[in-house]
Amino acid sequence: MIEREVTIRNRAGLHTRPASMLVKTASRFESAVYLCRDNYEINGKSVIGVMTLAAEQGAVLTLVVEGEDETEAADAIEALFEDGFGEEL
Amino acid sequence: MEESPPESTSHDELVISGTGAAPGIAMGTAYRYDASAPDRRRAPISPDEVDAEVDRLANAVQRAEQELETVRTLAPDALGADTDAIFEAQALMLRDEEVLRAIRQRIRARKEPAAAAVRTVLAAHRERLDDSDDAHLRTGADDLVELERRLLRALRRRAAAAHIDTQSVVVAQELTPTDLLRVRRQGPLGAVTARGGPTSHAAIVAKALGLPLLVGAGETLEAVSSGDRVVVDGTEGRLIAHPHPATVEDYRQRETEAPSPTEREEERAGRPPRTTDGHAVTLRVNVGLEAELDLLRPDPPGGIGLLRTELFLLADGDPHAVDEERQVEAYREVAEAAGEEGATIRLLDLGGDGRGPRHAAAEHEGSRSLGERGLRRLLNRPDEHLRPQLRALLRANRQGELRVLLPMVTDVTEVRRVRRILDEESARLAENGVPHDPTLPLGAMVEVPAMALQAPAFTEFVDFFSVGTNDLTQYVLAVDRAAGPVGARHDALHPAVLGLILRVVETGRMSGCPVEVCGEIAGDVQAVPVLLGLGVDTLSVSPQSLPTVRRVVRAIEYDAAKGLARDVLQEDDAPAVRRRARTWIDTHLPPAETAGSGGADVRGPDASDR
């Protein structure tokens, strides 16, 4: 199991479009993906779940990935956060 | 007649303002179309209804996905680079297993009707978003409201489509894209809704169909009843009920001044356009929806270049539409609308790239565009769709006016297998004495790069090639156009894509096998001179872009276009090709000659808009 902290860098936060990018990426992997914010945990393959994190710019989330391809999955997801989902930072 | 104060009797002119969502003017009789009321049942269902209720939910999700795909296909690129991303997100929301599981659980455990379960579960999610301090994140709540409405609409039992007079204007609280497609089939003149905004999905569909639409007319719209005389002005954004004769006269006048659909149709009715130096170019039209056939009258001079059967047959989510008998009827209708030049019918492209209905199980990119789609799927299960569809085409083909097009072809072997099946079905029909025309030309879509590279091998087995630039570009450049930041790199004017097209065109020329281009690029003003220069002489474009493309073709000098094509093949990337094409257009196409009445700017979008 991998556990990492990720920070929302893009200005608009984890709104619908970044949420769907995240879910599309997470769904490419076998591993289970969870995101956690203040004890509220959601399935990283559920776009509505990710949206309900209501994570604004600067919010810190815990990314938990577990499964065969957990390293690749965690790296790919972390890269999206780093890149601010291709949006304005 | 004197001007009447606004508060006087109901037969005085009533002007209701709203937002014009699709331009144009329609004058006729109001027809109130109110879809059945939403399902408000809260009372628990009985235990033996549970399975059926869960099935209803699954069917509703599928119908909603179908509707979304239809709208996505009709949405013009002009809506902005984010359009695909928005549709993508909405489709993902519909398929959110976590949420669907929660809804099913409520149906099973609490015996809630599906609609009630949808409302409860989504409301709980919405609350979390409503609580956010961030305005941008709160917009997610709107997305959830839209999702809820989409699901509830799909759960609603279908209103029996009453007969709508062709001289009527549909008046409704709200119209979904599916409603609009359903009523359009009966040929009303225009539509007005109390709710909705100009960027709604209904607006996208109305624009694509050339149907004047006014949205957001508000509660005052209640004052309009079936049978009232109305004028809908989708351009200025108002509805006039019980119009004064003077108002009607005024609108009649404007109708004749405005570039009306009729005028565009007349323009279409001419012979194939020629370049300034006399090179003839065949222009055909792409059709996805039955309602679009109406846009083709009088007959399109070049016929129908691409009928996407997955959309045409399944647009309103009715799975019976693929029945062989229904298909025969549908193709006869298409053949008649296509006129002398006939119609190219593409076999069902299911499980595809988002341009065709997706298989619900095909979740991620790989399985969507690189998996079992198009011809692969048809050949893996030939009895499911391939044989019935080929039989229907053979039977509908009475005077040789139909052509068959194979989607997502990779190898010659696949084409040979289709040929064999086609011969078998034709023999069986002959045995049973079923009338049909066995001479059905067979064409292959050029989408998979392997196929383009091996084009010469195909000429022995196919009668024509049709280049589908959207998919070809995706595969050649390894870019999914819905893929966020790299999506913008999806541009068919990339030198590598153009080089492959040239290869196929030359193969075609040497073997006498016609090559046409039917992708979106064929309707792109910057691409037209490049494609002609490469030697493409048949383009198939949407009915909406036909007049513009026709004008551009007429302004092009063929010899000069050949020079442009040679030059762009030397460029490094798509933006460079576009820059060169734009410069060429500025110097070679005088605006005075190309900007006709009411047409789009032939200079087309800047590269930065794409």
B598 has pLDDT over 60: no
Name the CATH superfamily, with its identifier, for domain B274-279+472-598.
Phosphoenolpyruvate-binding domains (3.20.20.60)
Sequence letter at residue B123: A
Q: What total of structural domains would you count in chain A?
A: 1
Domain that holds residue A21: 2-86
How far apart are the C-alpha atoms of B491 and B494, rounded to whole Å? Answer: 6
Report, in this order, helix, strand and coil percent for chain A, each rounded to 5. Answer: 40, 25, 35
SS3 A9: coil
Which one of the listed residues B125, B201, B385, B436 is annotated catalytic? B201
Distance CA B452, CA B459 (A): 11
C-beta separation of B151 from B125 below 8 A: no
Of A14, A17, A45, the CB nearest to B85: A17
pLDDT in tens, B370-400: 888 889 989 999 998 999 999 999 999 987 7
Could you say which of B385, B494, B513, B518 is catalytic?
A: B518
Per-residue pLDDT at B592 exceeds 50: no
Reply yes or no on whether B518 is catalytic.
Answer: yes
d(CA B168, CA B185): 13
Closest partner residue to B364 (CB to CB) among A27, A56, A86 is: A27
Encoding tokens for residue B479?
A: 């870019």
How would you write B348-402 as a 3-class SS string?
CCCCCCCCCCCCCCCCCHHHHHCCCCCHHHHHHCHHHHHHHHHHHHHHHCCCCCE
Helices (H) and strands (E) in chain B, counts: 24, 16
Instruction: Pick the more confident residue, B23 or B100.
Output: B100
pTM of the model: 0.57
CB contact under 8 A, B129 and A51: yes
| Peptide bond before residue B456 is cis, with ω within 30 degrees of 0 | no
pLDDT tens-digit map of B454-495: 999 999 999 999 999 988 999 999 987 666 567 678 889 999
CATH annotation of B47-155: 1.10.274.10
* Runs of H (alpha helix) within B75-113: 83-94, 97-110
Q: Which of A43, A46, A56 sits opposite B134 (nearest CB)?
A: A56
Count Cβ atoms below 10 Å from residue B586 Cβ, excluding itself: 11
User: ∠B524-B530-B531 over CA atoms, to 5°?
Assistant: 80
CATH number at residue A52: 3.30.1340.10
Q: Report DSSP state, residue B11.
A: T
Task: List CB contacts of B394: < 8 A, sequence separation 6 or more.
Answer: B422, B425, B426, B429, B436, B437, B438, B440
Contact assessment for residue B259 and residue B252, using Cβ atoms and an 8 Å cutoff = no
CATH for B14-36+160-258? 3.50.30.10
CA–CA distance, B18 with B6 (Å, rounded to integer): 18
Pairing of strands B238-241, A2-7: unpaired
- Angular region, B242: left φ>0, alpha ψ -120 to 50, beta rest: left
| Token representation of residue B133 | 């301090």
Cβ atoms B583, B325 nearer than 8 A: no
Cβ-defined contact of A49 to B93 (cutoff 8 Å): no
Q: Are B500 and B476 in contact (CB under 8 A)?
A: yes
Return the minimum-mean-pLDDT range out of B154-163, B313-322, B432-441, B555-564: B154-163
- Would you tell me how many other CB atoms lie within 10 Å of the CB of residue B271? 8
According to DSSP, the β-strands at B442-446 and B402-406 are parallel
The chain-wide mean pLDDT, for chain B, equals 81
Query: What does the pLDDT read at residue B165?
Result: 72
Sheet containing strand A60-66, edge to edge, reads A2-7, A60-66, A32-37, A40-43
Residues of B in contact with A48 (CB under 8 A): 93, 96, 98-99, 125, 144, 147
C-alpha B206/C-alpha B196 separation (Å) is 13
pLDDT tens for B425-446 read 999 999 999 988 888 999 999 9
Q: Do domains B14-36+160-258 and B274-279+472-598 have the same CATH topology?
A: no
Q: Which residues of A touch B89 (CB under 8 A)?
A: 16-17, 19-20, 47
| Out of A58-62, B547-551, B567-571, least confident range | B547-551
Measured between alpha carbons, how far is B291 from B293 in angstroms, rounded to an integer? 5
Chain B residues in contact with chain A using a Cβ-Cβ cutoff of 8 Å: 82, 85-86, 88-89, 92-93, 96-99, 125, 128-129, 131-134, 136-137, 139-140, 143-144, 147, 363-366, 484-485
- Which region among A2-16, B262-276, B583-597 has the lowest average model confidence (pLDDT)? B262-276
Structure letter (DSSP) for residue B280? B
Mean pLDDT value across residues B7-12: 56
Q: Which CATH code for domain B282-440?
A: 3.20.20.60
The minimum CA-CA distance between B118 and chain A, rounded to whole Å, is 13
Q: A46 and A23 in contact (C-beta within 8 Å)?
A: yes
Alpha-carbon distance values, B134 to A12, A17, A38, A52, B142 (Å): 9, 15, 17, 12, 14
Q: How far is A13 from chain B (nearest CA, A)?
A: 7
pLDDT at residue B67 tops 60: yes
> Identity (one letter) of the amino acid at B417?
R
Rounded to a whole number of angstroms, the distance from the CA of B362 to the nearest CA of chain A is 11
Q: What is the pLDDT of residues B171-185, one digit of tens each?
A: 988 887 767 776 766
Burial class (CB in 10 A: 0-12, 13-18, 19+), B160: exposed
Cβ–Cβ under 8 Å, residues B343 and B401 = yes
pLDDT at B36: 54
When computed from its CA atoms, the radius of gyration of chain A, rounded to whole angstroms, is 11
What is the C-alpha to C-alpha distance for residues B509 and B530, in angstroms, rounded to an integer?
Answer: 17
- Pick the more confident residue, B149 or B397: B397
Q: Choose among A24, A49, A83: nearest Cβ to B364.
A: A24
Instruction: Give residues with Cβ within 8 angstroms of B447, minimum separation 6.
Output: B374, B407, B408, B409, B467, B468, B471, B472, B475
Active-site annotation holder among A4, A9, A15, A37: A15
